[in-house]
Amino acid sequence: MKRLRITRPIRTVLVAGAAAGLLASCSTLNYYTQAAQGQLELLSDAKPIDDWLADPATNPKLRHRLETARQIRRFAVQEMALPDNNSYKNYAALKRPYVLWNVVATPELSLQPLEWCFPVAGCVNYRGYYNKADAQQYANELRAQGNDVEVGGVPAYSTLGWFSDPLVSTFINYPDAELARLIFHELAHQIVYVPGDSQFNESFASTVEQAGVERWLDRFGNPAMREAYDKYRTRKQDFLELLLKYRKELEYTYKSPVSDGAKRQAKAQLFARLKDDYQELKVRWGGYAGYDKFFAEPLSNAHLASIATYNDFVPAFRNLLAREKSFPAFYRAVRRIADLEREDRNRVLKSLGATLPALPVLQRTIGASR
């Protein structure tokens, strides 16, 4: 099989990203270096889907998943006007469960996450590492400073069109509709992305994802696939509502005029109740344990800092899509809104979304296992 060719321009960009760390500190340089190396290795390991399918040694199950992914990718271009580039047309088989690990941190008695700022992506509330040991080491440094910290595995991410994002073994075995959801979501980030405005970016991508899966299931779905996807969405919604409930209670606790000792005691009690309520939720799900990994580390503020109403503007975007009647017209309208100042963007979207309820969304750092 041929490997995906890494051209000189790509190498230059990757090295430039690492060199940017020189403007700050040695620790920053180390971070950019691992990020550049990790991205380069991922691209180097990726091979065209056609090569995998032509290889008689390719596992039959993998062959079927790659054929499905190729059909989804074709649908994304032909029916959703998503970018017709080389993203998700190559496949990389990794020897690890996640493509990278995100480190999220908060102060001990606050749900306000720490932020890190990067070129292109802007300021975000996580730092990603391609090696779990590196993520754990940085997490320990943050804990030593008195912070609450969570390390969460990430199956997929978008480079926003800077590179050809490959299909990866970390998510290729998702059920068909979930695989389509992920591909549509990540490609949407290549259409419109506003640095530093996660609420806007995630709401837009979630809208494209939802509308795309609905259309894809209408075309290719069967009753079993629709039932499986409905169960997935119901369980996810149940879990998010549980986490948002305890996030609100913690926010109230931290704002209360009581001593830090009392806040610590209440915090411990709330996390204990959260674990108990989760067990009850699993019974309601018939024993489904896909979110058990969320509880693999001791619960902390950082676990709930990754929860946000990132779907706040989905009703607005859904209404806009219905008004524009086609994906290309919808994308043009979204770009016009994206060009506005943040306050004006929010005002326009709130006026567009007044008729539909918002739903909570969980950041991809805390996806259920399959």
100-106, strands of its sheet edge to edge? 127-129, 100-106, 148-154
pLDDT-wise least confident of 8-17, 70-79, 103-112, 145-154: 8-17
The answer to whether 157 touches 304, Cβ cutoff 8 Å, is no
- Residue identified by tokens 């149940």 is 238
The answer to whether 153 touches 98, Cβ cutoff 8 Å, is yes
Q: In this predicted model, what pLDDT tens digit does every residue of 196-232 receive, in sequence order?
A: 888 899 899 999 999 999 999 999 999 999 999 999 9
Segment (H or E) for 153:
strand 148-154
CA distance 28 to 8: 24
CA distance 242 to 274: 8
Q: What average pLDDT does range 36-48 have in this prediction?
A: 93
Q: What is residue 21's predicted lDDT score, i.e. its pLDDT?
A: 38
Q: What is the pTM of this model?
A: 0.83
Q: Is the dihedral of CA 294, 150, 42, 115 positive or negative?
A: positive
DSSP string, 76-109: HHHHH----SSTTSEEE--SSSSSEEEEEEE-TT
Q: What average pLDDT does range 179-188 have in this prediction?
A: 97
Q: What is residue 362's predicted lDDT score, i.e. its pLDDT?
A: 47
- Sort 313 into a burial class: Cβ within 10 Å, 0-12 / 13-18 / 19+: buried
Q: What totals of helices (H) and strands (E) does the chain contain, helices first?
A: 13, 10
Query: CA geometry: angle at 35 spanning 33 and 38, to 5°?
Result: 105
Q: In this predicted model, what pLDDT tens digit does every residue of 231-265 receive, in sequence order?
A: 999 999 999 899 999 999 999 999 999 999 999 99
Question: In percent, how much of the chain has pLDDT > 90?
Answer: 76
CA distance 82 to 136: 36
CA distance 277 to 159: 37
**Confidence class of residue 26 from pLDDT cuts 50, 70 and 90?**
low
pLDDT at 6 over 80: no
The answer to whether 203 touches 211, Cβ cutoff 8 Å, is no
Q: What average pLDDT does range 128-143 have in this prediction?
A: 96
**Confidence class of residue 357 from pLDDT cuts 50, 70 and 90?**
very low
**Confidence class of residue 365 from pLDDT cuts 50, 70 and 90?**
very low
The answer to whether 190 touches 161, Cβ cutoff 8 Å, is yes
How much is the mean pLDDT over the chain? 88
